[in-house]
Amino acid sequence: MARSGETATLSLEEVDRLTRRCLAAAGADDANAAAVADVVTRAERDRALSHGLFRVPGYCASLASGKVDGTARPEVRRLAPSVVQVDGRDGFAPLALAAGRAPLIERTRAQGVAALAVVRTYHFQALWAEIEPLCEAGLVALACTAYKPVVAPAGATAAFFGTNPLAFGWPRGERAPMVVDMATSAMARGEIQVAARDGHALPAGAGLDRHGRASTDPAAILDGGVQLPFGGYKGSAIAMMVELLGAGLIGERFSFEAGERDVEDGGPARGGEFVLALDPAAFGDAGGRHDHAEAFFARFAELAGGPRLPADRRYAARAETPARGVEVPAALHAELQRLAAGG
């Protein structure tokens, strides 16, 4: 660990160890702390900062308040031949998602298509972190989750949807998978929180202030305002789809319910996650599919203007971080050290 005036530079091993120590000090057992720390460390590695160390104080707060059980053991049930449910038993989502992963992969290979319904968990989980292992197992994957209400549907001025991320992944054999992971809000909540912390303005269209007026001030949006969906009424419709899959179908809380019932301890609200996996080999023509899709990606890369694949920036960061380390704002680093010491 190196420190300059404003930031501390940590290795990935230090990120992992610090996160585990914070969670353990707040009451998490080894299995839960390791599962959360794995996601936090992968997020820092990929410079997906809004899912990284920034989230650890919230995780600790929800252990301290007693809302989240840091010793929970998820329970896996097969509800139908193609449906696996994981009851997180009031623990954090990463351990529940890990518990469901192998059963989902097994069911998908056996059936062609299968769904994983994760319920009774609390999370700040990045969806790409769940999509990637499924793609690495050769599967196509889709995931979504609802959260607390911070986004006004198109045509409304009151918060009702969460930022409701949707992720999709496509396996590419030896290459890193093509993974889309996007908030259905114009911006991710964490990005707005980071902008507020750092004093940056937001692009137009990010949200409304408490009076329903368009605003680019992150503080005004966070303080009684609302975020807006991306892409107007179409993005709003996708946010609704996320509510219905990630809450209605699996029997978990809609965003508006999570908002009403959360104890606001600074940590994640209760929520579920819907994950779908499809086995390309079950759709016939297994020999030619990989090359066919790769021809598609090759043509995409050659287009005038030079478009990039969705995960390219994350993968570029991933390649650089092990040598460069992770820069953490000094104030956050000090807070984490205090939490790790049980303070």
Positions annotated as catalytic residues are 50-51, 191
From the list 47-55, 96-104, 295-303, 329-337, the region that binds a second copy by CB under 8 A is 295-303
**Pairing, β 83-92 against β 2-3:** unpaired
Report, in Å, the least distance between residue 213 CB and a second copy. 13
Q: Toward a second copy, which CB reaches closer, 264 or 291?
A: 291
Report, in Å, the least distance between residue 259 CB and a second copy. 11
Query: Is 82 an interacting residue with respect to a second copy (CB under 8 A)?
Result: yes
Secondary structure (H, E, C), the chain? CEECCCEEEECHHHHHHHHHHHHHHCCCCHHHHHHHHHHHHHHHHCCCHHHCHHHHHHHHHHHHCCCCCCCCCCEEEEEECCEEEEEEEEEEHHHHHHHHHHHHHHHHHHHCEEEEEEEEEECCCCHHHHHHHHHHCCCEEEEECCCCCCECCCCCCCCCECCCCEEEEEEECCEEEEEEEECCECCCHHHHHHHHHHCCCCCCCCEECCCCCEECCHHHHHCCCEECECCHHHHHHHHHHHHHHHHHHCCCCCHHHHHHHCCCCCCCCEEEEEEEEECHHHHCCHHHHHHHHHHHHHHHHCCCCCCCCCCHHHHHHHHHHHHHCEEEEHHHHHHHHHHHCCC
Query: Is 81 an interacting residue with respect to a second copy (CB under 8 A)?
Result: yes
Number of residues located near a second copy, criterion CB under 8 A:
72
Query: Is 338 an interacting residue with respect to a second copy (CB under 8 A)?
Result: no
Q: Toward a second copy, which CB reaches closer, 5 or 306?
A: 306
Q: Toward a second copy, which CB reaches closer, 228 or 339?
A: 228
162-172: b (≥16 Cβ within 10 Å) or e: bbbbbbbbbbb
Report, in Å, the least distance between residue 7 CB and a second copy. 29
Report, in Å, the least distance between residue 192 CB and a second copy. 16
Select the residue interacting with a second copy from 67, 133, 170, 321 (CB under 8 A): 170
Query: Is 292 an interacting residue with respect to a second copy (CB under 8 A)?
Result: yes
Query: Is 288 an interacting residue with respect to a second copy (CB under 8 A)?
Result: yes
Residues 86-145 that bind a second copy (CB under 8 A): 110-115, 117, 140, 142
Residues 245-274 that bind a second copy (CB under 8 A): 245, 247-251, 254, 256
Query: Is 343 an interacting residue with respect to a second copy (CB under 8 A)?
Result: no
Residues 197-256 that bind a second copy (CB under 8 A): 230-238, 240-241, 243-245, 247-251, 254, 256
Report, in Å, the least distance between residue 111 CB and a second copy. 4
Q: Toward a second copy, which CB reaches closer, 82 or 337?
A: 82
Report, in Å, the least distance between residue 250 CB and a second copy. 6
CA-angle at 195, arms to 130 and 49, nearest 5°? 30
From the list 10-18, 25-33, 58-66, 78-86, the region that binds a second copy by CB under 8 A is 78-86
Query: Is 152 an interacting residue with respect to a second copy (CB under 8 A)?
Result: yes
